[in-house]
Amino acid sequence: MPEAEAHIATYVLVHGGGHGGWCWDRLVPLLRSAGHQVFAPTLRGVAERFSEGSADVDLDAHVREIERLIVSEDLTDVVLVGHSYAGMVISGVAGSVPERIRRLVFVDAAIPVSGEALVDTSPGLRLVAERDLRVVDGVELVLWPDTIPPQIYGLVRPEDIAFAAGKFTAHPWKTMTQKLCVRDAAAAAKIPRAIINCPGTLASRPKDKRHRWSAGDPVWEIDTGNDVMITEPRQLAEMLLRLA
């Protein structure tokens, strides 16, 4: 009998604050070599798109970007992966095009509810902004690489620091303070979600919200820092492939 055709999954990987699509470069080949389709866009206002930043770059703008990508490429059955800040983004996308999403994956990510901003789930960001916020061409920016060392992202090995060197940029503050609006919260809530935690970040989550990071199926843990796709790409790939 002929072998059953392997299922080809479609992954859309959304990066965290101050990062860009580059941060997935060690992970993407591992998923593609298994035969899957992978998109790793860079959001407007960061990384190689830093010069495209403007005062209208907010959370809604980033949600619309990923929504447009999914619709314009006619993607369905999407495994939508969000890292760190991008937990906000994928939560918004889930309420915009729920019929196109197979599963949400939160990778050491914010897990918000509609009406919350990133600063509500990561209150330490307000302290960062107090000492680090700068205004450039009318845009409020935080996470400046000259004040945020790579160790903050969990990069301690020389090879990982070298991989990321010169690639981090500042990030639009407005995306972190705007409240999330989930258009169809009921439909979004029906999408299965997987949660991949890193213990150091989990311990810093607000205690009254921490239960959210155990409310997935499955819930996994990788013992590394926030930038798990850089420090442990194979372990992360194995988990994502199991979801395919």
The pLDDT assigned to 2 comes to 43
Q: For residue range 78-117, what is the model confidence (pLDDT) as tens digits? A: 999 999 999 999 999 999 999 999 999 999 999 999 999 9
4 confidence band (pLDDT: 50, 70, 90): very low
Task: Say if residues 45 and 70 touch (Cβ distance below 8 Å).
Answer: no
Question: What does the block give as tokens for 121?
Answer: 């789930």
Contacts for 100 with CB less than 8 Å, ≥ 6 apart: 70, 71, 75, 76, 77, 78
Q: Residue 1: pLDDT band by 50, 70, 90 thresholds?
A: very low
pLDDT tens column, 155-187: 999 999 999 999 999 999 999 999 999 999 999
| pLDDT band, very low/low/confident/very high, at 6 (cuts 50, 70, 90) | low
Bridge-based pairing of strands 139-142 and 134-136 is: antiparallel
Residue 5 has pLDDT above 90, yes or no: no
Q: Higher model confidence: residue 227 or residue 122?
A: 227
Say if pTM beats, i.e. exceeds, 0.85. Answer: yes
**What domains are there in the chain, each with its CATH number?**
10-242 (3.40.50.1820)
